[in-house]
């Protein structure tokens, strides 16, 4: 699955009860939240002695790409390849993720959304995590959570989460 295919599939769970402006605001802040969850998992593994749960990391990456896909569609943004330097230190990976996402939340420029996309992709690559697999897993999770389309009842129920 490529990102354009994923964007089509993920649009099914867009909250169309909100205005476009409300969705852009919601998804922008939610993107920042999800990048924070990725960062938290890595921070705990790298510096707090936790075991890195790659399955959980992939779920969080999937959530990041869901928000990126919605913003891409709503803002009519094209993600074009940009050169990024290789991250050599752990802290550089997290810093790049947070700075790029935070800058997009602050200024809302479409070019920054593109940088968020590529920085997160680069971070995934550093863990040998398959981009297509992350997207496919996220679609499967959303199909289970929202059998028809997004609705608040299913959002609260979250049947895809065991326990």
Tell me the per-residue pLDDT of 93-117, one tens digit each, with 9 for 90 and over: 667 766 667 666 666 677 778 788 8
Q: Which residues of the chain have pLDDT under 50?
A: none
Containing structural domain, residue 143: 3-157
71 domain-assigned:
yes
The predicted pLDDT at position 134 comes to: 96
Predicted structure pTM score: 0.86
Q: pLDDT tens across 57-76, in order?
A: 999 999 999 999 999 999 98
For residue 89, the 8-state DSSP code is S
What residues contact 75, with CB distance under 8 A and at least 6 apart? 24, 110, 113
120 part of a folded domain = yes
> Is 35 inside a domain boundary?
yes
In a domain, 54, yes or no: yes
Q: Return the pLDDT at 122.
A: 84
Nearest Cα to 94, choosing from 135, 134, 46? Answer: 46
Domains held by the chain: number: 1
Tokens of 11: 């649009």
Instruction: Establish how many alpha carbons lie within 13 A of residue 105's alpha carbon, considering only the half-sphere containing its beta carbon.
Output: 18
pLDDT of residue 72: 92
In a domain, 162, yes or no: no
| 22 in a structural domain | yes
Contact 15, 62 (CB under 8 A): no
Q: Confirm whether 48 is domain-assigned.
A: yes
Query: Has residue 163 been placed in a domain?
Result: no
């Amino acid at each position: 699955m490529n990102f354009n295919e994923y964007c089509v599939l993920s649009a099914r769970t867009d909250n169309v009860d909100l205005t476009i402006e409300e969705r852009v605001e919601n998804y922008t802040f939610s993107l920042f939240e999800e990048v924070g969850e990725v960062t938290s998992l890595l921070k705990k593994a790298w510096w707090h002695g936790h075991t890195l749960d790659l399955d959980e990391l992939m779920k969080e990456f999937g959530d990041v790409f869901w928000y990126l896909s919605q913003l891409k569609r709503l803002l009519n943004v094209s993600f074009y390849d940009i050169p990024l330097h290789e991250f050599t230190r752990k802290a550089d990976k997290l810093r790049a993720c947070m700075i790029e996402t935070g800058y997009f939340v602050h200024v809302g420029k479409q070019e920054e959304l593109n940088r968020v996309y590529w920085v997160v992709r680069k971070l995934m690559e550093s863990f040998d995590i398959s981009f297509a697999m992350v997207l496919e897993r996220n679609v499967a999770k959303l199909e289970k959570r929202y059998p028809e389309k997004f609705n608040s009842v299913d959002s609260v129920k979250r049947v895809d989460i065991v326990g």
